[in-house]
Copies of this chain bind each other. A is one copy, B any other.
Amino acid sequence: MPRYKILIKYDGSEFFGWQIQPEKRTVQGEIERVVNMMARSPKNWIRVQGSGRTDTGVHALAQVAHFDFPFDVPAEGLRKGLCSKLPFDITVTAAEQVADDFHAQYSAHDKTYWYRFSTAEFKDPFKYKYTGHWHRKLDFAKMEAAIGDYVGEHDWISFAASGFQAKTTIRTVYSAKIEAHPEDEEIWFEFSGSGFLYNQVRIMVGVLLEIGNGVRPVDDIQRLFTVRDRQEARFTAPASGLYLKSVDY
């Protein structure tokens, strides 16, 4: 059976995250339902494998998934069929046939997350589902000075939420960027890495905001790598600002 790779864009606001769960509306659940309907497989045996989970409220600009389809159809036709049957908060932006050994999770080389943060005094009605928000004094220069400390291979245990089940907490961050967008009262963060632990990106953003606010010193990221203590960084930036931007293979 041919294997297809798809790129998926979704507004996570009304989903209980990516991963399929009984009785909950999830992105994976919606896509599996539609793929199985198109495959006319009443027993819903086709599984749609994503590059990884996203949490409740987290968005994706280009989540990647693969599945095996019983018919050898043109990828673009399959994409249009999926788009026309999926709910309005999910769309498939690209589709291609891939080799049988392509795996959306295990073949992934690196992932990029975007975090969109609003510094406005009050939440904007058109942004509250699409940004994190914290109206406190933030020193951009301090965050800019600190963010480079994230780059490299580190043990991220101080940045992991409890409840994670990874074999190792060693990960490599390839790049970490911060951008000011004063005209929109926003600050954007972007992180690329080999992989991220559960809630890691949101805790990384939380630590930077506390550095910007003066709660932590500018060199505190280095200390957090040394102390290896999950209790040291407990401020997790809201899910609403987080976007899975791309997955590279």
| Chain B residues in 8 Å Cβ range of A125 | 9-11, 88-91
Count residues on chain A whose CB falls below 8 Å from chain B CBs: 19
- Work out how many copies of this chain go into the complex: 2
Set B9, B11, B88, B124: member contacting A9, Cβ < 8 A: B124
| Chain B residues in 8 Å Cβ range of A10 | 125
Specify the chain B residue showing the minimal Cβ separation from A120.
Answer: B91
Which residues of A from 75 to 131 have beta carbons under 8 Å from B?
80, 83-84, 88-91, 121-126, 128, 130
Q: What's the least CB distance linking A15 to chain B, in Å?
A: 10
Contact yes or no, A11 B126, CB < 8 A: yes
Candidate in A83, A84, A125 with the most chain B CB atoms within 10 angstroms: A125
Instruction: State A91–B80 Cα separation when bound (angstroms).
Output: 38
Q: List 22 A-B contacts (CB under 8 A).
A: A9-B124, A9-B125, A9-B126, A10-B125, A11-B125, A11-B126, A59-B126, A80-B122, A83-B121, A83-B122, A84-B122, A88-B123, A88-B125, A88-B128, A89-B125, A89-B128, A90-B125, A91-B122, A91-B123, A91-B124, A91-B125, A126-B130
Q: What's the least CB distance linking A9 to chain B, in Å?
A: 5
| Chain B residues in 8 Å Cβ range of A124 | 9, 91
Which residues of A from 217 to 234 have beta carbons under 8 Å from B?
none
Specify the chain B residue showing the minimal Cβ separation from A82.
Answer: B122
Q: What's the least CB distance linking A6 to chain B, in Å?
A: 13
Specify the chain B residue showing the minimal Cβ separation from A12.
Answer: B125
A115-156 interface code vs B (CB 8 A; 1 in, 0 out): 000000111111010100000000000000000000000000
Which residues of A from 45 to 65 have beta carbons under 8 Å from B?
59
Specify the chain B residue showing the minimal Cβ separation from A10.
Answer: B125
Q: What's the least CB distance linking A89 to chain B, in Å?
A: 5
Instruction: State A233–B88 Cα separation when bound (angstroms).
Output: 27
Instruction: State A84–B83 Cα separation when bound (angstroms).
Output: 39
A140-179 interface code vs B (CB 8 A; 1 in, 0 out): 0000000000000000000000000000000000000000
Instruction: State A71–B81 Cα separation when bound (angstroms).
Output: 60
Instruction: State A80–B120 Cα separation when bound (angstroms).
Output: 13
Specify the chain B residue showing the minimal Cβ separation from A61.
Answer: B126
